[in-house]
Amino acid sequence: MKPDIRDLTRSELEEKLSALGLKRTHAGRVFEYLYRQGAVSFGWMAAVPEKVRAALGAEYALFPFPAAEKRVSLIDGTKKLLFRFCGGAPAESVVLPGKYRTAACLSSQAGCACGCTFCATGALGLKRDLKPSEITAQFAACLRQARGGLGSLVFMGMGEPFLNWENVKKAILILSDGRGWNFPQSRMTVSTVGIVPVIEELAASDLKIKLAVSVVAAGEALRSKLVPLQARYPLSAVIAAVRRYCRERRALVFFEYILFDGLNDSPADAEELIELIEGIDCRVNLIPCNSPAGRGGARSQRAGAFQQLLIAAGVRTYLRLEKGSDILAACGQLAGKQ
């Protein structure tokens, strides 16, 4: 089977054209057709010379993507899109309308191998990595659903983006390419549960994306029960990598902290978190727990008290509004079901 041309970054396409004895400069025009005009065949690319189209068509395909099944939240208008990519691999994207701008949340893998105990995607196991074209296809579908365009993009859907990093990185380069969608990297956030080598790679790279790290629990013992990957990348190593990232990039990092009622939301837990992230230029997003079954965590008094303790310690903190829980589209609920 031929590979899909939309799995290539523009520089990869330039290399390929050069290897075929063709001008590298055709790559920009091909990108415009693919991403600005949504070309579905090489025949669409009227301004690309016939011999270039023929050469590319001999090597690559433009596979049609399956239409997404859509559900819309009656509570807040959140939209969930379910794709079944080649081989039935499920992937879900979420379009989150906000007061001022709409965000999209994309999947990086079909399922996930990490097995976090609170997460419906983790319970699925890993079906397979998504290809760059399957990640950017989600973006295109979300864009069509977002009235007024998309203001930001997060890689927080199904999968651990840093365990499919090569493909996610290519998708980021394609999405931000000036001859394509030109979506700014500075408005993209990649969320990880803490894959230390990739955090270090990101610190040394020239990508402009933002980093979010799921802390889940500030104590290593409790985190071990919730995040199996803790055995490979202990929280102390993750936080040390984050400190290096912030220093080298002079960038702010986002911490995601899921509030489980009565488990990690006591004043002592707040103190432990404050100590853990002390001195890091960060913002903490507090996420009321969403059970995979759809029982959403409310903004409880305990959550409010937890937030107040962080604020009193000078930590920028945001208590996230739960969105899309009635259609299983909130954090931790994506499981490839409609």
Nearest CB to ligand SF4, comparing residues 134 and 160: 160
50, 86, 92, 271: the catalytic one is 92
DSSP annotation string for 22-56: S-TTHHHHHHIIIIIS---SGGG-TTS-HHHHHHH
Nearest CB to ligand SF4, comparing residues 122 and 180: 122
Nearest CB to ligand SF4, comparing residues 126 and 209: 126
Q: How far is the CB of 284 from ligand SF4 (least distance, A)?
A: 17
Q: How far is the CB of 235 from ligand SF4 (least distance, A)?
A: 14
* Residue 66: closest CA among 88, 44, 33, 35: 88
Q: What is the dihedral of CA 155, 137, 141, 146, to 10 degrees?
A: 40
Q: How far is the CB of 85 from ligand SF4 (least distance, A)?
A: 17
**Number of neighbours of residue 100 by Cβ within 10 angstroms:** 6
Nearest CB to ligand SF4, comparing residues 209 and 331: 331
DSSP annotation string for 117-160: TT-HHHHH-EEEEPPHHHHHHHHHHHHHHSTT--SEEEE-SSS-
Task: Please answer whether residues 83 and 131 qualify as being in contact, where contact means their C-beta atoms are separated by less than 8 angstroms.
Answer: no
| Residue 236 CB burial class (10 angstroms; 0-12, 13-18, ≥19) | exposed
CA distance 172 to 275: 33
Nearest CB to ligand SF4, comparing residues 193 and 217: 193
Active-site residue flag, 92: yes
* Residue 180: closest CA among 217, 139, 151, 216: 139
Q: How far is the CB of 207 from ligand SF4 (least distance, A)?
A: 20
Query: What residues contact residue 114 under an 8 Å CB cut-off, 6+ apart?
Result: 122, 160, 163, 193, 227, 228, 229
Residue nearest to ligand SF4 (CB): 122
Active-site residue flag, 331: yes
- CA torsion sign, 225 to 227 to 233 to 237? negative
Q: How far is the CB of 30 from ligand SF4 (least distance, A)?
A: 34
Q: How far is the CB of 332 from ligand SF4 (least distance, A)?
A: 6
Nearest CB to ligand SF4, comparing residues 156 and 173: 156
254, containing H or E segment: strand 253-259
Binding site for ligand SF4 (CB under 6 A): 112, 114-116, 119, 121-122, 158-160, 193
DSSP, collapsed to helix, strand or coil, labels residue 81 as strand
Residues involved in catalysis: 92, 331
